[in-house]
Amino acid sequence: MSKVSRRGVFGYAGAAGIAGAAGVVVGQASASTDNGVPSRADGGILGQTYSPYGEHQAGIFTPKTQASELVAFDLLPQTDKAALGRLLRSWTGDVVALTEGRAAPADFAPDMPQPGNSFTALVGLGPAVFDLDGLQAKRPAGFQEIPPMQHDKLDQRWTGGDLLVWISADDATSVAHAARRFVTDAAPFATRRWSQRGSWRSVDATGQGVTGRNLFGQVDGSANPTGDVLTEAVVSDDDWLAGGTQLVVRRIEMDLVGWDEAVRDLQEASVGRRLDNGAPLTGGEEFEDLDLEAKDVDGELVIALDAHSRRSHPSHNSGRRMLRRGLNYTHDEWIDGEAVESSGLIFCAFQANIADQFIPVQRMLDQGDALNEWTTAIGSAVFVIPPGFQEGGWIGEGLFA
């Protein structure tokens, strides 16, 4: 087992992101303050150009962006280990060029990529990669699909996938352009299985990073770990994966109509945090920890036994933590002559070991989370996220060593 340096990652609480060793800012677009709103040059998180190189792939610890697309792929039957290596090298070329704001090799619209839009693209490997001849022994410890949960209503359409590219940027146009590039380059090896597009408002009016809100209006992401605790929770030290991580993607539909009917007190009680600023119902500011023992004047627990924040809290889960990086989605479909709408959260969580971290916490929530009344998982996928790479290297090369 090789050990990865724990010093490379640092974080800052809550702000729309977690700064990290990968994705170090190498340049910033110049500030545009003609509308009087200071941004960018004032330390905001918009308009960045991240480095594609580093200990971890960019897009894990870099601040959350406004627009994202996750594209999952199925391997073609003829794609063996060697062919997978060719695809990963080709995608690495795309990642490097697009992250630096240059046209990717054979780019069909070479004028579109530009620096200063906080672009990142993250590559993941699904379970079937570790069924390929020559790769079975490389399956990381704890990497497995999520077992069925009683509240799940999984749709194959949003479930599974042998490969993943997760593209993020300040704008959906750059994301859409990049997605075409990755899908086109994959064509000899893999076809698109699903795409999930999402957004996040990760800045305030001045361009400074903030935690951001999901479609229930909740501040979502406040209790994400930071510093050494973050590194410990997320970064793997397992053999070739050292410096990499594991990712769970759950498409969780949210019943917004039902939520709107609930009174505000009930909405706040279901999580144990205030809606206006995300602070615990037990007091303090957004980043204060919950006081799970606190009682009100009637002797009742302030944070209810079924409150989402209590049931997912590390103290109720043997210290288990993960890095959540969710995205809001809305999706319309035309079914039998009617527009059918689905809205929710593309719940994404990084951790070193899915079996030890996500699965037990998810079970705890499945068994008694107040939010279950309004939330239903309709898609599920898991990916190994290889470590970052240096100039001349490529994503996943450790698998082929």
- By CB under 6 A, is residue 290 in contact with ligand HEM? yes
CA 201 to chain centre: 14
CA distances from 303 to 261, 290, 292, 300, 307 (A): 21, 8, 6, 9, 6
Binding to ligand HEM in span 334-353, by CB under 6 A? 344-345, 347
Strand extents, DSSP E, 46-119: 48-50, 67-75
User: In the complex with ligand HEM, which residue's Cβ is closer, 118 or 214?
Assistant: 214
CB atoms within 10 A of CB 359: 21
Q: Is 340 within 8 Å of 330 (Cβ atoms)?
A: no
Distance in Å, CB of 221 to ligand HEM, minimum: 5
223 binds ligand HEM (CB under 6 A): yes
- Binding-site residue total for ligand HEM (CB under 6 A)? 29
In whole angstroms, give the CA distance from residue 372 to residue 352.
26
Which ranges in 101-139 belong to alpha helices (H)?
none
Q: Should residue 218 be labelled a site residue for ligand HEM when binding is judged by CB under 6 A? A: yes
Q: Looking up tokens 């490097």, which residue turns up? A: 96
Q: Given the complex with ligand HEM, which of 159 and 309 has the nearer CB atom? A: 309
**Residue 362 near ligand HEM by CB under 6 A:** yes
Interactions with ligand HEM, residue window 174-203 (CB under 6 A): none
Q: How far is the CB of 213 from ligand HEM (least distance, A)?
A: 9
Q: Taking a C-beta distance cutoff of 8 angstroms, is the pair 219, 278 a contact?
A: yes
361 part of the interface to ligand HEM, by CB under 6 A: yes
190 or 248: whose CB is closer to ligand HEM?
248
For residues 363-382, which are near ligand HEM according to CB under 6 A? 365, 371, 375
- The Cα–Cα gap between 78 and 188 comes to 9
Is 309 near ligand HEM (CB under 6 A)? yes
Position 308 contacts ligand HEM (CB under 6 A): yes
SS3 83: helix
User: Nearer Cβ to ligand HEM, position 254 or 385?
Assistant: 254
**Rounded distance between C-alpha atoms, residue 132 and residue 166, angstroms:** 23
- Which amino acid is present at 8? G
Structural contact between residues 167 and 154, judged by C-beta atoms closer than 8 angstroms: no
Q: In this complex, which beta carbon is closest to ligand HEM, that of residue 181 or of residue 313?
A: 313
Q: Which stretch binds ligand HEM (CB under 6 A): 102-110, 196-204, 299-307, 310-318?
A: 310-318
Q: Write down the least CB distance from residue 365 to ligand HEM, Å.
A: 5
Is the Cβ of residue 177 or residue 325 nearer to ligand HEM in the bound state? 325
Report 231-260 residues binding ligand HEM (CB under 6 A).
Answer: 250, 252, 254
Task: Decide whether 186 or 223 has the Cβ nearer to ligand HEM.
Answer: 223
Q: Which two tokens stand for residue 268?
A: 């706040």
**Residue 226 binds ligand HEM (CB under 6 A):** no
Instruction: Decide: helix, strand or coil at residue 261.
Output: helix
Asked if 312 interacts with ligand HEM (CB under 6 A), we say yes
Q: If residue 234 lies in a helix (H) or strand (E), which one and from where to where?
A: helix 227-234
Q: Give, in order, the Cα–Cα distances in Å from 304 to each of 280, 361, 374.
A: 12, 17, 17
CB of 259 to ligand HEM, least distance (A): 9
Listed residue (146, 167, 164) closest to 380, CA to CA: 146
Give me the residues that bind ligand HEM (CB under 6 A), please: 214, 216, 218, 220-223, 250, 252, 254, 271, 273, 278, 290, 308-309, 312-314, 324, 344-345, 347, 358, 361-362, 365, 371, 375
